[in-house]
A and B are shown apart, each in its own frame.
Chain A
């Protein structure tokens, strides 16, 4: 598939790697604004086509090639530019448009402006720290991009929480697995969940919101 990545910094680096891993025979075009970065990109990603462009010409390029571009990732070091390019690509009919944020505070702004796929690279910091330290009631482990839902870790600290978690799983028929206190990952029946376990549940956002509130998440 033909993928266009706008930007040549560290955000773009990870985007290009991911696209190459997914489709090693695909076509990746990287657009950057300075010749030094273009030289560096050519050395780091010899399989990609690095293109030097001006800020305004990116939109022309996308418009001219809108029937051919499958994925556009806007990953410059300016959220303003990323928003602009993402909106233009969506209006041009590019099927998959992804924006990577520099400042996580811009996430609601991007979503409000109609950018469906927004990557906030800082989101994992909170969940990882909670996971490592282990002192939490609820931890949002992963949020799906295409569906309103994700994987949520619920720590069963006492009998009250145990009852709530069991009743939630039964009511919503949610798939789950358990990480027990002795660090075993296991699947089991609802009855076998114990105090001290961390239960990883996958469900829709609307199902879990009430539970998160009640559990102080």
Chain B
């Protein structure tokens, strides 16, 4: 089986050369795809020079990496597709190989990567509690929002990709519901820039939205009640906090 490595990326010219070269060194890798989110720096040029296939994600406005992941899956031709963050400072070929090893051994069809470090704030405060409430079978995953995933290309074609930051947890839930064999592998330590707190609000919202949407779809929340509630919230005048 051959492997396509997909890097969703945006304004990452500092990392792209190394990431693409590293990916090509991993075993069975036949192509490296960089899906650009509309970079204003030289990310695309550098990626092309390094021999990566490049496409700019289909949305004109960058909504988060979901569209980029979808486009990467669609453009890939390998039997296995691996998604990796492009700005992992300690990325090695072995790091990438670990991700798809269970698939190569026939033990899984979809793999989530997890790390030694503690899970992020959105994971601990939003994703895990909501998964516990609505999909307790998935609460065991250490890092359900991990962007390092691998899967047989055909499984990615069975599901829809959320357009924003809810894509990772959305894929996890949807593939689980389809009965796909899922595994989690420890990738060791990931050296990666964390987002500042103020940038996490949108991400948290989109993650929550992805989980709740699926909970409604799967009958875990009453749809009629949810629609009415959301409509009521929308009309509420939240007022202002007064000072005593």
Contacts and interface: CB of A to CB of B under 8 A. Distances in A.
Direct contact of A and B (CB under 8 A): yes
Interface of A: 54-56, 77-81, 83-84, 102-103, 105-106, 109
Contacts of B56: 79, 103, 105-106, 109
Interface stretch (B71-79, B166-174, B223-231): B71-79
B38 interface: yes
Contacts, number: 47
A102 B36 CA distance: 14
A124 to B, nearest CB: 15
B55 interface: yes
Contacts of B74: 55, 78, 80-81, 84
Nearest to A102: B58
A106 B38 CA distance: 10
Contacts of A56: 154, 157
Interface of B: 35-36, 38, 54-60, 70-72, 74-75, 154, 157
Q: Which 5 A-B pairs have the closest CB atoms?
A: A80-B71, A80-B75, A102-B58, A80-B74, A105-B56
Of B71, B72, B157, which is in contact with the most chain A CB atoms at under 10 Å from its CB?
B71
A79 B71 contact: yes
Contacts of A77: 58
20 contacts: A55-B74, A55-B157, A78-B70, A78-B71, A79-B56, A79-B57, A79-B71, A80-B35, A80-B55, A80-B58, A80-B75, A81-B71, A83-B55, A83-B75, A103-B57, A103-B58, A106-B55, A109-B54, A109-B55, A109-B56
B157 A79 contact: no
Of A77, A80, A102, A109, which is in contact with the most chain B CB atoms at under 10 Å from its CB?
A80
A74 to B, nearest CB: 11
A54 B54 CA distance: 24
B85 to A, nearest CB: 19
A79 B57 CA distance: 7
A77 B67 CA distance: 10
A29 to B, nearest CB: 21
A108 B207 CA distance: 34
Nearest to A54: B157
A177 B157 CA distance: 52
Contacts of A109: 54-56
A13 B181 CA distance: 38
A102 B58 CA distance: 5
Nearest to B75: A80
Contacts of A54: 157
A83 B53 CA distance: 12
A56 B36 CA distance: 23
Given A78-B71, A103-B38, A109-B55, 16 more contacts: A55-B157, A56-B154, A56-B157, A77-B58, A78-B58, A78-B74, A80-B35, A80-B74, A81-B71, A81-B74, A81-B75, A83-B55, A83-B75, A102-B58, A102-B59, A103-B58
Contacts of A83: 55, 75
A81 B35 CA distance: 13
A109 B54 CA distance: 8
